[in-house]
A = this chain, B = another copy of it.
Amino acid sequence: MSVHSGTSASGPGVEPGDDVAGGPGGSDHPAAPAVGRATITDVARVAGVSVATVSKVVNGRYGVAAATAERVLGVVEELGYESSLVARSLRRRQTNVIGVLVAEFEPFSTELLKGISAAINGTGYELLAYCGDAGRTDHVGWERRSLSRLAGTLIDGVVIVTPTLALPEHDGVPVVAIDPHTGPTGPATVDSDNLGGARMATEHLIGLGHTRIGYLGGRADLESARLRELGFREAMEAAGLTPDPDLVLEGGYRPDRSDRPTHDLLERPDRPTAVFAANDLSAIHVIQVAQELGLRVPEDLSVIGFDDVPEAAASTPPLTTIAQSLHEMGAEALRMVISMLESDATQPRHTRLPTRLVERASTAPPAA
């Protein structure tokens, strides 16, 4: 024994002499907790009952004398005791908390979170948003790791945002993927009409008179990115236009990863007159790079994005984009998880929400 603090540590509200209810035969317990939260053991000791009794009282089980219950409750109050989520969930099979797994808290995932948060109201569940190994966000499989670490113990069900892998259909807990890796197959999913939205975006540009249009794609492993590119190509071809292969680049949905391709796009002599970026964040970055390069948006370059996160309206100029119902997607994913939790209807469902064009100021006819 080395670094133990003294015997007479006084916990919350426990007097030094308060050596209450030692074990049978006079094993001298140290007094209350030296520091930190009170545990069920502290409550039991101070109340002079067993931990089992405290547990029963706290959980409202029957078979405890009214007087005892009252005394225990008093101590609970006095010590500010609250049961540890961790210990409780290790023992029980249910925690009443829904997890949301994200690679990062950025505008897309936080919009989803707002929708989920609003929808959880009144359901009796709590929300736990987890962001595993931040920084290595490109690390494929982050969601498998997070899932394994949390599922089955901490959380009863889970919403995974933009998973990098096809998820196991059944990992013990209900799983719903938003903007999934594989498209509508495997586990339950919620996504948008990416194909239609991308067509709409491209048609908007074409309708404005653009013919030389660049495409800055998203994360190659995501179904949404695949469909958006497809929608772009389809709309181009439908208009009799052939996408210039040099003008179709990948930006990974992220400003940092789209910086290079954006420069490549805008610095070429025969640069496009318009760019369709696969999400708002990279579209906003395109606007910034264009402006640094001395190009005016939309006079010299039209830019359209995808998502309609609040930041889109806040950019200068405000970004024309394809809106997804982000809040609704989050709310729907939550509803699905809860319904999977509460019924045995294990048929994985796939919900697809509509998209719509939001015209703001970043697009205009090409310069004459």
Given that A107-B114, A127-B131, A310-B107 are contacting pairs, would A37 and B172 also be in contact in the complex, using a CB cutoff of 8 Å? yes
A336 touches B (CB below 8 Å) = no
Q: Among B80, B105, B127, which residue has its beta carbon within 8 angstroms of that of A134?
A: B127
B86, B113, B314: the one contacting A86 at CB < 8 Å is B86
- CB of A140 within 8 Å of the partner chain: no
- A130 / chain B contacts, CB cutoff of 8 Å: 126-129
A37 touches B106 (CB 8 A): no
- Contact status of A131 and B126, CB under 8 A, knowing A82-B145, A149-B82: yes
Q: Tell me if A83 counts as interface (CB < 8 A to partner B).
A: yes
Query: What are 9 A-B interface contacts by the 8 Å CB criterion?
Result: A35-B170, A37-B152, A82-B144, A84-B153, A120-B134, A123-B135, A128-B129, A128-B131, A310-B311
Chain B residue with minimal CB distance to A154? B86
A84→B129 CA distance, assembly (Å)? 16
**Residues on the B chain within 8 Å of A36, using CB:** 151-152, 171-173
Contact with B along A165-198 (1 / 0, CB 8 A): 0000011110000000000000000000000000
Q: How far, in Å, is A129 (CB) from chain B's closest CB?
A: 4
What is A's interface to B at a CB cutoff of 8 Å?
Answer: 35-37, 80-87, 89-90, 104-107, 110, 113-114, 116-117, 120-123, 125-135, 144-145, 148-154, 170-173, 309-314, 318
Q: Check A90–B80 contact: CB distance below 8 A.
A: no
Contact present for A121 and B135 (CB under 8 Å): yes
| A197–chain B nearest beta-carbon distance, Å | 19
A131 and B117 form a contact (CB under 8 A): yes
- Write out the residue numbers on chain B whose beta carbons fall within 8 Å of the beta carbon of A37: 148, 151-152, 171-172
Contacts of A125 in B (CB 8 A): 134
In the assembled complex, the Cα of A318 lies from the Cα of B361 at a distance in Å of: 14
Cβ-defined partner of A310 (8 Å) among B122, B144, B171, B309: B309
Contact A80 B148 (CB under 8 A): yes
Whether the pair A150, B107 counts as a contact (CB closer than 8 A) is: no
Given A126-B130, A314-B310, the answer on whether A117 and B89 have CB atoms closer than 8 Å is no
- Tell me, rounded to whole Å, the shortest Cβ–Cβ distance linking A125 to chain B: 8
Verify A87–B90 contact, CB threshold 8 A: yes
> Which of chain B's residues has its CB closest to A170's CB?
B35
In the complex, which residues of chain B have a beta carbon less than 8 angstroms from the beta carbon of A121? Answer: 134-135
A105's partner among B35, B127, B310 (CB-CB below 8 A) is B127
Q: How far is the CA of A154 from the CA of B149 in the complex (A)?
A: 12
- Does A117 contact B145, Cβ atoms closer than 8 Å? no
The residue in A110, A114, A150, A170 that gathers the most chain B C-beta atoms within 10 A of its C-beta is A110
- Which residues of the other chain, B, contact A85 by a CB distance below 8 angstroms? 149-150, 153-154
